[in-house]
Amino acid sequence: MNREMTSSFLLMTFAICKLIIAVGLNVGPSELLRIGAIDVDGHFTVHPSALASVSSDFGMLRSPEEPLAVLHPSSAEDVARLVRTAYGSATAFPVSARGHGHSINGQAAAGRNGVVVEMNHGVTGTPEPLVRPDEMYVDVWGGELWVDVLKKTLEYGLAPKSWTDYLYLTVGGTLSNAGISGQAFHHGPQISNVLELDVVTGKGEVMRCSEEENTRLFHGVLGGLGQFGIITRARISLEPAPQRVRWIRVLYSSFKVFTEDQEYLISMHGQLKFDYVEGFVIVDEGLVNNWRSSFFSPRNPVKISSVSSNGSVLYCLEITKNYHDSDSETVDQEVDILMKKLNFIPTSVFTTDLQYVDFLDRVHKAELKLRSKNLWEVPHPWLNLFVPKSRISDFDKGVFKGILGNKTSGPILIYPMNKDKWDERSSAVTPDEEVFYLVALLRSALKDGEETQKLEYLKDQNRRILEFCEQAKINVKQYLPHHATQEEWEAHFGDKWDRFRRLKAEFDPRHILATGQRIFQNPSLSLFPPLSSSASW
Ligand code: FAD
């Protein structure tokens, strides 16, 4: 059925279904949708291509499972109408918001009996970002891409403070996790930089929440994996946007020295500090391994291979200093002062200078390059872990120098963050130490690649890494978590589980929302069969 046919069919049947709802007949989701029961200003589609496009994700690890329909909302009220209908229907069918589908394990899926709300590709009517320069914030639609938030705020010389490495992610999608990058050590994750939200709860109510209003919902939704409501608007705090970025990479052969320098850098919060601190592990230099950046280009004066590492693993510290054109003289001095405190391999300094917007949007260039070689739409068995500082060197020995061997099939990021920049009241889960590291194994599986690049090999390696951490009692927490059983979810949330469960009972009592996370079973339908442990990762 094309869109026009769908619309007229919906109109024709609208009166009938209103009657059905009014008299409270017990109709299932498929009946409700077939007769177009829900009156929205946007539109529903059941077109096969639309169903197919929302049934897979960036991870490409699961067999696509098509939902009943896709809603393209044009307002929060459209989302609320759908959720109210789902909540009121006999079988309480699932409704999952989908941002840009960049999840790895089907987290934005709704299952065969559900409806996906396509937040990103809104039809006309979805609100544009609204910048308030006097108040230093921007109001954005939950499905807005961060790259568009950046473009809009830059028109006012402003920008959000905390980022992700990649900007083609949605505001609602990253705020449901945390949203982290090299600025998090100072500004905290993106969820620490939100002033207010509008949320459609699992009962279909549109609720405004903030530090002052509906506080429990506000903190619960941030990092809440979509469990308590669909974010339709977020108010994000802004700062004056820098114009340029000095981007520096230096190498280490000693993990100890590398992490000491990283930890030193994230302890600095005054005027004289780097603005972004990340790092990665270098095992070999293939395109797949270094897709995150074209930084080490052939034009670079120093080849990585010329830096002696005695054949072992190298570590790269990545730092930036933001500045305005008018400060271009002082930036050199500031960088010099800061660099003098670091203990990297002296011949290994790689520097570049670029516009702020080009730095923030750097991963998109890599995406285009990988797409041109058909290396983007491949399975991504990613594993993201928060590792406590006290055990990071055990992790290095056991994983980087142990389980991984000398092939990684993708970049491995490693950088520390300060726990006091995370609001404990949010639903995001981090290790119980003041400093913890993100370790992100961002792997791509290649069908025709070497054995070490095959999906099954990489999934098995992820399993071994998690097993190693468990045996060595390294209390890691998964970021962008994926767990197979209720017990694992309870262990993941730890002290926060009880609150998480209670918020679910209050704001999504029929377990309608974000069922693709597989945290709670839908009480009236067994939508997703429990995973066998071998199916995880
Ligand atoms: P989706 O994958 O579509 O959704 C994710 C979850 O959020 C689902 O459960 C969904 O139901 C829910 N959800 C989506 N929208 C809403 C909403 N409006 N309200 C409530 N719930 C909602 N993350 C980082 O923190 N830092 C990074 O540097 C980073 N880099 C990345 C680079 C790449 C190339 C990729 C593919 C991912 C990266 N991520 C990073 C991970 C990213 O944060 C997650 O994929 C996240 O899920 C956001 O993606 P999305 O907007 O496509 O959301």
Q: Give per-residue pLDDT as tens, 162-198.
A: 999 999 999 999 999 999 999 999 999 999 999 999 9
- Give nearest CA residue, ligand 1 atom 48: 173
Structure tokens at 87: 């909540």
C-alpha span between 479 and 277 (Å, rounded): 18
- As for ligand 1, residues whose beta carbon falls within 6 Å of it are 58, 96-103, 107-108, 119, 142-143, 164-166, 169-170, 172-174, 176-181, 225-226, 230-231, 480, 514, 516-517
- Please determine, for residue 102, whether its predicted confidence score (pLDDT) is greater than 70: yes
Q: Give per-residue pLDDT as tens, 116-135.
A: 999 997 667 889 999 999 99
C-alpha span between 37 and 430 (Å, rounded): 42
- Please determine, for residue 11, whether its predicted confidence score (pLDDT) is greater than 50: no
Ligand 1 centroid, distance to 479 Cα (angstroms)? 11
- First-to-final CA distance of the chain: 37
**Can you give the three-state secondary structure of 291-305, one letter per residue?**
CCCCCCCCCCCCCHH
- Please determine, for residue 329, whether its predicted confidence score (pLDDT) is greater than 50: yes
Pocket test for ligand 1, best of 82, 146, 176 (most atoms within 8 A of CB): 176
* Residue keyed to tokens 């005027």: 271
Over the range 245-270, which residues count as b (16 or more CB within 10 Å of their CB) and which as e? bbbbbbbbbebebbbebbbebbeeee
Could you give the residue numbers annotated as active site?
A: 102, 165, 278
pLDDT of residue 292: 61
Task: Give me the torsion for CA of 276, 282, 285, 286, rounded to 10°.
Answer: -90
Single-letter residue type at 1: M
Q: Which residue has the higher pLDDT, 522 or 258?
A: 258
Neighbours of 22 (CB within 10 A): 8
Q: What values do phi and psi take at 61, rounded to 5?
A: -100, -15
Single-letter residue type at 444: S
The overall pTM is greater than 0.85? yes
Q: Give per-residue pLDDT as tens, 357-376.
A: 999 999 999 999 999 999 99
**Pick from 289, 283, 295: nearest CA to 443:** 289
% of the chain at pLDDT higher than 90 = 78
Q: What values do phi and psi take at 12, rounded to 5?
A: -55, -40
Rounded mean pLDDT of 196-220? 98
The closest-lying atom of ligand 1 relative to the alpha carbon of residue 190 is 25
